Amino acid sequence: MESISLNRRSFLKGAIVAGAASVSAGVLGCAPAAEPEPAATAAENMTAEIYANTKWSFEVAPEPIADDQITEVISDEVIVIGSGVSGLVAAASVLAHGGSCTLFSAGTKAVSRGGSNHAVGTKTQKRLGLDYTPESAAAHFNNEISRQGYRMDSRKWWKWINESGEAMDWITDIMEAAGYQTTLELPYVDPNGTFSIPSGAHNFYGPEITNTANEGQPLMTATFEKYILDNGGAIMYNTKAEYLIREDDNTGRVSAVIATNADGEYIKFEASKAIIMATGDFSGDADMMAKYCNAFTDYVADSAGDYDAEFQFGGLMRGDGQKMGLWVGAAWQNTTPSAPMIGWYGFPAPCSDQNHPGILLNVEGERFMNEDTSSVYAGYAISGQTEKKVFTVWDSKFAYRFDKWEALGNNMDNLGIVPVTADEKAAEFEAGAENGTYVKGDTIEDVLNQLAEQGCIDVAAAKAQIERYNADVAAGVDTEYHKCKDFLISIEEGPFYGQYNQLGAAQMLCVLGGLRTSPKCEVLDANNKPIEGLYNVGSMMGDTFGTFYNFRVPGQNLGMTCITFPYVLGKELAGK
């Protein structure tokens, strides 16, 4: 087989790309987008046969080092690779249930990304009077599995649903012993019922933080780092896994992993029971993105690949564990492409999970969707518009359409930040106009002209579209998209505000999935047989999500692959 590698393209680097252009009112005056550079001429045209018989660079295993190059050998029952939430929980669970464990990581610290941890049937939910159990939530999860087109291994979902309560209660006990409180994010009730979400996302609170969703997860990782050390475990940082050792000429048990330390010295980690990979996603590797999630390759920023990265947009890790698994015979997940996690939070919305409920316009000045949807679904709709650009305009009374405005981190215990009032939201619009987040004008046309200078919207078409929309609002029916009447909000009373965004790296979190994985976290080969001694947890677990991560179960990935599965796996391995 030949080996190929894509040249890294010029990735989007900024949060919002706003191209200044000279646009007269009513005319789309932007210069046309530059034509893409032609691809390098291939020796012959690509065919299915050539593609099937060509190896990507990341599929080619490195040459193993000689034994005399190894400077240290560390042996333990369980070796965990990675110091994110999933790796820390796996190691802590092994120790909590009587096993022995060593964890090492390429980074310099324990890291966390996100802050919502979804679980079902927990003591926190009972404390807050919620009827949220596997039985009562079954219909909701059946609906979510259907949204994913059944393109995942639904055995994993139901295992998580059934066992997440025990796992989260264990987490809660450890956090409370460390002086922190577990709380729940607020639910969302969609007037139409389509996009309602339950209150299952658990956050952690301490007096040193303000926002439980954005700042609570580092409390957890620091607590679990200490828990591991206090309970006889070992942690080594600045130590990067290079490749796995599989016995019997790459057909037997995975028994060790070769790593390099900060000085470039080789260390061999031997595991008598298991090696657990918790190395994160592959969104920072251009070649892996091109093969397994090619529609979003251009969303990856050059900053991706930092092992210490926390809540970072533009992609995260470079697929170290996925590559190591492929080199010892692991199969890739059945579901392709892998599921991207796009977090679209571009415009004012009454809660963090909802899309802007007013009007959304594309470059051509047209509405292109029913705006009564989630922020994430809106992002995917925007991705199909010209240059992925989107605009909105609202008026001075928009802030008073809702009694309160919720943000990510508002919780049922009112700890930290709390929802803001209509007056406070109106003040935010004024502040946003002053700092350049929004544009402001006395007329709709004035706002549209300012947006045209930023993002090249057709002013005349947009003005006509807003006039039609206002007429529909007055009549009480959306004749184009039949949006829920609760969100038919006119744009009539000045001053007016507007905003322009372009979907790109600023909304790209990561990509979920990778190696084919059993519900027991076993890494599988092409025949769906477990590779003895090798497990993976966290975002790299294959076939956990289908089309994409839609956030309709907030914190599902953290709660499922990063907490419940590593907790159960650690418990089972300790008992072997």
Q: Are residues 533 and 391 in the same domain?
A: no
Residue 441 has pLDDT above 90, yes or no: yes
For residue 9, being part of any structural domain is answered with no
DSSP string, 543-564: TS-SS----SSTTHHIIIIIII
Q: For the chain, what is the mean pLDDT? A: 91
Classify 525 as helix, strand or coil: coil
For residue 475, being part of any structural domain is answered with yes
Residue 101 has pLDDT above 50, yes or no: yes
Percentage of the chain with pLDDT > 70?
92
For residue 175, being part of any structural domain is answered with yes
Q: Are residues 560 and 482 in the same domain?
A: no
Task: Tell me the pLDDT tens digit for each residue of 303-325.
Answer: 888 999 887 888 889 999 999 99
Among 473, 502, 531, residue at a domain's last position: 502
Of 13-27, 194-208, 311-325, 468-482, which gets the smallest average pLDDT?
13-27
The pLDDT value recorded for residue 314 is 83
Task: Put residue 193 in one of left, alpha, beta given phi > 0 → left and psi -120 to 50 → alpha.
Answer: left
Q: Are residues 187 and 139 in the same domain?
A: yes
Q: Is 64 exposed, middle or buried (0-12, 13-18, 19+ CB in 10 A)?
A: exposed
Residue 39 has pLDDT above 70, yes or no: no
Residue 10 has pLDDT above 50, yes or no: no
| Helices assigned H by DSSP within 231-347 | 247-250, 286-292, 320-327
Residue 19 has pLDDT above 70, yes or no: no
For range 151-155, the mean pLDDT: 95
For residue 301, being part of any structural domain is answered with no
For residue 171, being part of any structural domain is answered with yes
- The CA distance from 474 to 471, in Å, is 5
Residue 29 has pLDDT above 50, yes or no: no
Joined tokens for residue 436: 């350049």
Q: Are residues 449 and 517 in the same domain?
A: no
The number of distinct structural domains making up the chain is 2
For residue 303, being part of any structural domain is answered with no
Residue 472 has pLDDT above 70, yes or no: yes
For residue 98, being part of any structural domain is answered with yes
Of 81-90, 374-383, 523-532, which gets the smallest average pLDDT?
374-383
Q: Are residues 115 and 239 in the same domain?
A: yes
Task: Tell me the pLDDT tens digit for each residue of 513-567.
Answer: 999 999 999 999 999 999 999 999 999 999 999 988 998 899 999 999 999 999 9
DSSP string, 90-137: HHHHHHHTT--EEEE-SSSS-------EE-SS-HHHHHTT----TTTT
> Which stretch of DSSP H or E encloses residue 461?
helix 459-475
Residue 5 has pLDDT above 60, yes or no: no
Residues 297 and 286 sit within 8 Å (Cβ to Cβ): yes
The pLDDT value recorded for residue 33 is 53
Neighbours of 518 (CB within 10 A): 18
**Residue 502: closest CA among 14, 8, 11, 9:** 14
Q: Are residues 492 and 549 in the same domain?
A: no
Q: How many Å separate Cα 499 from the centre of its chain?
A: 24
Q: Are residues 519 and 487 in the same domain?
A: no
Q: Are residues 151 and 258 in the same domain?
A: yes
For range 241-268, the mean pLDDT: 97
Q: Which residues pair with 225 in a beta bridge?
A: none
CATH number for the domain spanning 107: value is: 3.50.50.60
Q: Are residues 133 and 187 in the same domain?
A: yes
> Which stretch of DSSP H or E encloses residue 2?
strand 2-4
Q: Are residues 232 and 247 in the same domain?
A: yes
Joined tokens for residue 339: 């599921």
Among 482, 502, 522, residue at a domain's last position: 502
Q: Are residues 525 and 455 in the same domain?
A: no
Q: Are residues 150 and 241 in the same domain?
A: yes
Among 502, 535, 563, residue at a domain's last position: 502
Joined tokens for residue 142: 């059946």
For residue 365, being part of any structural domain is answered with no
The domain in which residue 495 lies consists of 375-502
Residue 333 has pLDDT above 60, yes or no: yes
